Structure 1
Amino acid sequence: MKPRSRTGLVVALLTMSAGLLSGPAGATGGDVPTVVRTDAGAVRGTVTGELRTFDAIPYAAPPVGALRWRPPQPVTPWRAPQDATGPASACPQDANPEAPTGSTDEDCLYLNVTTPRKPSARPRPVLVWLPGGGFFLGAGSNYGPGDLVTRGDVVVVTVNYRLGIFGFFGHDGLPDSGTFGLQDQQAALRWVQRNAASFGGDPGNVTLAGESAGGMSTCAQLTSPGSTGLFAKALMQSGSCAFDWPANGQYPGQGAGAPWLPQSAVRQVGGEVSADLGCPGGAKALDCLRALPASEVVKQTLSFVSPAYGTSVLPENPAAAMRAGRFHRVPVLSGNNHDEARSWLIAFGDDRIDAAAYHRLVTDMVGGSLAPKVEAEYPLARYESPAIAWGAVTTDRIWSCNQVTTDRQLARRVPTYAYEFADRDSPLTRAFPGKVPLGAAHAMELPYLFSLGGAEFQFTPDQRRLAAQMVDYWTAFARTGDPNGPDRPQWSPVRDGVSGLSLAPAGQGDIRRVDLAAGHHCGFWGSL
């Protein structure tokens, strides 16, 4: 079986697309401690400006050798303070903008903790960030949470978890096939429960958050028995339990699907890949596979980008669990970007999409009998170009309305706040210039919350104000479960229908209340 191909630009956008007392020793920031004792040993971080940062803290033993494709195991305690002044390796993945040379280092189960420099009389809320990247790339250390930490007065933890074939491989000899990456996330959350207080955080006030695959992971953890009690709130950006896609909707020739697969399907792929790697079935197959170098195994990583259900980690499809109301009762903040699917236009020829191509793409996606209905709902005369029209069709069908579906299911049982990021001129659009404007495409909101890969992006004054308001919303939600506060418009929870906030700078409508279901034709898609 050959790995699925990915377009370079799409990969880049996906990537953009984590109680003991502190020890007094090692302080280099005046009286600010740079050594903190965890349950496994002390770590020595850095103090810079208004931040304390502790990178590359191990939360599980290296999953190497006999521990490859096993549940995360406890770390071996250490005596001397461990260096936590620089990031750990990204988990194994092909070369991409987050890991330009790729990675074959399986010793990657580390997290990073950033806190305000100034001490607090009360424990601070903790936000745990799961990076996106399609379940096959990404690294927690690429997300700099400085504004969230200093302006929002929270502790932020960013996490590495196993990806691709190392995180989601399936085999008949592995009881928890297809879930090792999700198990890593739970191990990181358990670490936070044990150690948050050492960094000034409140283990009883943890928000699990992520974007794209990180958002989908967050929704999966909402339905997983193993994450019970590990977080008090959930924040999903551009990823939900209901996420799925029709045939030819994300990429030409791609079949219909969803992020989640039954374990039997993941195991079947695992058997095929095992043979491709020279390890045929039988009692010794796993020994053979574990003996292979990571550099050989990673070549098949794109064959495993789907968490498996029908397991102890995910007993059922997260979409079905959400429909049935079988999820943890915590407040949720959930949203999308207005033009999500424009990130994928390049796969369809972007500026080469003319009226004839638009008709063909719609027909390929929904079939000849339904195509006229879709084209009537999305007439070309309404859009700047056929490419923009196709972007609207696929944004609504694949991203927005699936998020709306999950929001409705959540709102029946827990406080749920819905949003849409709508700045069509995000600084990331300048990083990916093209003939078709990206608008508020997938991942374009990330610079408003994080520095990415150490880069600080240039904002206009209106965008800087929007970024500050978003940080205030996000961190207020992490603190109380309610994003509201002074100096920003009121954000009401989802009631009947799905209304939420459109997050745009002044000049593009500013922050305002919108009907997300109506704006993205969700009634129409539901009728099909």
Structure 2
Amino acid sequence: MRSVLSRRTRITLAATTATLAAAVVGLNAAGSADASQTNSPVVATGNGPVQGLSVDGTSAFRGIPYAAAPVGNLRWRAPQAVRSWAGVRDATRYAPGCPQAAGIAPPGVLSEDCLYLNVSTANLHPVSKRPVLVWIHGGGLTADSGSNYDGTKLAKAGAVVVTINYRLGALGFLAHPALASRGGAAGNYGLMDQQAALRWVQRNIAQFGGDPHNVTIAGESAGGLSVLAHVTSRSSRGLFQKAIVESGAFALEQQSLAEAETFGKEFATKVGCADQSAACLRKVPVQTLVDNLDNLIPGAIDGAVLKESIGTALAAGRFNHVPILNGSNHDEEALFTLGGHVVSRGYNIPYTTPVTPENYEQNIATALRTTPTQAAAIAQAYPLNAFSSPDKAFGTLVGDATFACPAAQVDNWTNAHAYEFNDDTAPFLFAPAGTISVATHGSELWYLFDLPNAPFQQPLNAAQTKLADTMRADWVRFAATGNPWPTAGHGTVSYQLPAPTLSTDFAARHHCATFAQNLDKVK
């Protein structure tokens, strides 16, 4: 079995296509560096030329395949090389998103044939060598799509931006002994897809004005967790030079392969494959696979992509030592507590709602998997009379335990540049304006990308726009140099209105010592 992860794709173009590709390269080399000079830019890739479109002074190329469709016999296999094409491929429309449950899916078609990426660039000159930012979307590794993130503004700020799709849920992460037989992969197909996309970047991004030797991987939530996975993965070494982690430190302990395969066998029975055969699993309808996934954030120690848990590797110094920009938002759990769930240690956990003085400590024990004694000690650090409601107190402490303090641990382990997003006026992605006024999970995304498919479109005001311009400049500066704040001192940069400030009390404000004392470790 030949994988796109280990082979270089050969250019197999017809004579007329080769002539066109040479003409494109020649035009760029001649100095047509301004992407806005043409409404139909054409770029030669290793599999054939693609034609994009002009977007606000940049060039956008959408729906470029980076691996073969993982369908039929390729379901639950490592990503394979994509076939080359003759003629110019249309790259003006987004490709289908990967199968997922309703929620934050992109509009339009969902399909197993979903291994595509999108490029935004303001300079097509092959020698411009702009820093490359590869965006890995969040969504719990079960939802979302690269097409939900418009990289135009980041491209105008100076980066070549690549957003990717990757296999999700059971299709992306099911571990099962039958699938791993004969030396096959044991889960983590979605992470392997991300690696395949990074290899595509290595081969092709220079033609889009990017520097293949200056690639930053970036992601939010499960995308940030994916970034940490690649930081600790030996098989991702050399595919990137920098890493940005946004709210991604919430699940630093992964399942063992044995645990993941036990779940895989239970899942196979649930979807009608009591015989536990790979042949049966590859025939199960996609929607059945989507409908039967439980609430675990997927990913396992498969021995290939991940040889140990992310937190274990980071703590021991066994990771790819690249510059890291790492952060979290002021009140991460506010998003989740609106729905009566909390995200804790990689699970979506229901709790008794509303939170009351009577059930407060029991809810803490449930969410954080602590003893009653530990829960009581944690509750003392978050007295109910210090908050507007018990629900607010509970959400705050779970957010600190699950997002803020693990982020601080990652900072210490990796010597990362640390930030906190603190604009409590930020628009809320999933409810109308005024529903919530706090910087919660995902709030910073408005300040980096346009989000064309967000459920509620809420334009930034003048002060927020200024902060967003600052953040994009910092992200691009980090991608270019590895240092987002050349003049900042030691501490955590707080992105707040009217302007960012330097904070030195992050761990104290989030009670990280309390969790270190009352949890086996913050995970």
Q: Identify whether the pair has TM-score above 0.5, normalized to the shorter chain.
A: yes
Q: What's the counterpart of residue 230 of structure 1?
A: 239
Partner residue of 1:527 out of 507, 512, 517 = 517
Identity in percent: 39
Distance 1:31 1:442 in 2: 38
Structure 1 residue 139 corresponds to structure 2 residue 145: yes
Matches within 5 A, 1:117-132: 119=125, 122-132=128-138
Give the aligned partner of residue 252 of structure 1.
none
Equivalent residue runs for 1:136-215 within 5 Å:
136-150=142-156, 152-173=157-178, 174=180, 175-215=184-224
Q: Quote how far apart the aligned CAs of 1:359 are.
A: 3.9
Structure 1 residue 373, shift from structure 2 partner: 1.9
Q: Relative to structure 2, which stretch is displaced further, 369-378 or 211-220?
A: 369-378
8 A Cα contact 2:426 2:437, kept in partner: no
Q: 1:511 corresponds to which letter in structure 2?
A: T
Distance 2:430 2:292 in 1: 33
| Structure 1 contact 125–154 (Cα < 8 Å) conserved | yes
Give 1:430 deviation, angstroms: 8.2
d(CA) in 2 for partners of 1:394 and 1:304? 17
The one of 334, 353, 356 equivalent to 1:342 is 334
Alignment check: 8 A CA contact 1:132 1:138 kept: yes
- What is the distance in 2 between the residues matched to 1:99 and 1:429? 14
Aligned twin of 1:308: 300
User: Residue 297 of structure 1: CA displacement?
Assistant: 2.4
| Mapping for residues 418-497 of structure 1, pairs under 5 Å | 418-428=418-428, 431-432=431-432, 437-454=436-453, 457-484=458-485, 490-492=487-489
* Residue correspondences, number: 475
Aligned partner of 1:378: which letter? Y
CA apart distance, 1:372: 3.1
Corresponding residue SS for 1:466: helix
| Structure 2, unpaired ranges of 5+ | 1-20, 342-350, 519-523
Match of 1:272 in 2: 266
Aligned 8 A contact 1:93 1:102 in 2:
no
Structure 1 unaligned blocks of 5 or more: 1-18, 245-257, 494-498
Distance 2:23 2:304 in 1: 35
Distance 1:321 1:430, change over 3 A: closer
> CA–CA distance in 1 between the matches of 2:272 and 2:374?
45
SS in 2 for 1:62: coil
What residue identity is the alignment partner of 2:488? W
Of 306, 323, 345, which aligns to 1:331? 323
Contact 1:32–1:117 (CA under 8 A) maintained in structure 2: no
> Tell me, what secondary structure is at the counterpart of 2:167?
coil
Alpha carbons 2:422, 2:494 under 8 Å: kept: yes
Alignment equivalent of 1:408, drawn from 396, 412, 423? 412
CA distance in 2 between counterparts of 1:193 and 1:94 reads 32
Deviations 1:500-527 (A, max 9, x none): 1111112xx7533232211111112111
Q: Provide the secondary structure at the position in 1 that maps to 2:262.
A: helix
Quote the Cα distance in structure 2 between the aligned partners of 1:39 and 1:379.
60
Q: Give the direction of change, closer, same or farther, for the CA distance of 1:408–1:354 in structure 2 (3 Å limit).
A: same
Residue 107, structure 1, aligned to residue 113, structure 2: yes
* Structure 1 letter corresponding to 2:189: F
Pair 1:55 & 2:59 matched: no
Q: Does 1:517 align with 2:517?
A: no
Report the residue type matching 2:441 in the other structure.
H
CA distance in 1: counterparts of 2:22 and 2:314, whole angstroms: 37
Instruction: Give the whole-Å Cα distance in 2 for the aligned partners of 1:82 and 1:418.
Output: 42
Q: Is the 8 A contact 2:24 2:42 kept in 1?
A: yes
- What corresponds to 2:386 in structure 1? 382
Is the 1:343–1:438 contact (alpha carbons within 8 Å) kept by the matching residues of 2?
A: no
Alpha carbons 2:123, 2:209 under 8 Å: kept: no
C-alpha separation in 1, matches of 2:22 and 2:135: 23
Q: Contact 1:21/1:37 (CA < 8 Å) preserved in 2? A: no
- Residue-by-residue CA offset, 1:446-485 (whole Å, 9 max, x unaligned): 0000111356642222211111111111110000001126
**SS of equivalent residue, structure 2 residue 504:** strand
Return the letter of the residue paired with 1:527.
Q
**Aligned to 1:206, what secondary structure does the other structure show?**
strand
Q: Distance in 2 between matches of 1:384 and 1:292?
A: 49
In 2, the alpha carbon distance for the partners of 1:501 and 1:89 equals 37
Give me the TM-score of the superposition, normalised by structure 1: 0.84
Name the CA distance, whole Å, in 1 between partners of 2:196 and 2:230. Answer: 12
2:188 and 2:302 in contact (8 A); partners too: no
Distance in 1 between residues matched to 2:400 and 2:142, nearest whole Å:
25
Supply the AA of the counterpart residue of 1:323.
Answer: A
Q: Which amino acid aligns with 2:101?
A: D
Q: Measure, in 2, the Cα distance between the counterparts of 1:62 and 1:304.
A: 26
Q: 1-side partners of 2:223 and 2:256: how far apart?
A: 20
1:404 & 1:29 partners in 2: Cα distance?
42
Deviation at 1:117, TM superposition (A): 5.0
8 A Cα contact 2:133 2:218, kept in partner = yes
| 319, 344, 356: which one aligns with 1:354 | 356
Please give the TM-score of this superposition, normalised by the length of structure 2: 0.85
**Structure 1 partner of 2:5:** none
Question: Does the residue aligned with 2:93 lie in a helix, a strand or coil?
Answer: coil
- 1:34-92: per-residue Cα shift (whole Å, max 9, x none)? 11010011111001221100000000000000000000000011011111000011001
Identify which of structures 1 and 2 has the higher relative contact order when contacts are C-alpha pairs closer than 8 Å and 6+ apart. Answer: 1
User: 1:21: how far off?
Assistant: 8.1
Distance (whole Å) between structure 1 residues aligned to residue 387 and residue 60 of structure 2: 46
Query: Residue 417 of structure 2 corresponds to which residue in structure 1?
Result: 417
Contact (CA 8 Å) 1:271, 1:281: kept in 2 or not?
no
Query: Shift in Å at residue 425 of structure 1?
Result: 1.2
Task: Determine the structure 2 residue equivalent to 1:250.
Answer: none
The residue aligned with 2:91 is 84
Q: Say if 1:453 and 1:355 are closer, same or farther in 2 by CA, change over 3 A.
A: same
**Distance in structure 2 (CA, Å) of the matches to 1:154 and 1:217:** 21
Q: CA deviation at 1:20?
A: 8.3
Residues 296 and 527 of structure 1: CA distance in aligned 2, closer, same or farther (over 3 Å):
closer
Structure 1 stretch 369-378 or stretch 64-73: which is displaced more? 369-378
Contact kept? 1:20, 1:198, Cα under 8 Å:
no
Deviations 1:78-113 (A, max 9, x none): 01111100001100111113346783x100000000
Deviation per CA, 1:355-378: give whole Å up to 9, x if none. 334344235443322333222211
Alpha carbon RMSD of aligned pairs, Å?
Answer: 2.6
Match of residue 9 from structure 1: none
Question: 1:129–1:210: 8 Å Cα contact kept in structure 2?
Answer: yes
Q: Is the 8 A contact 1:133 1:213 kept in 2?
A: yes
Cα distance in 2, alignment partners of residues 292 and 122 from structure 1:
47
User: Aligned partners of 2:256, 2:134: CA distance in 1, in Å?
Assistant: 27
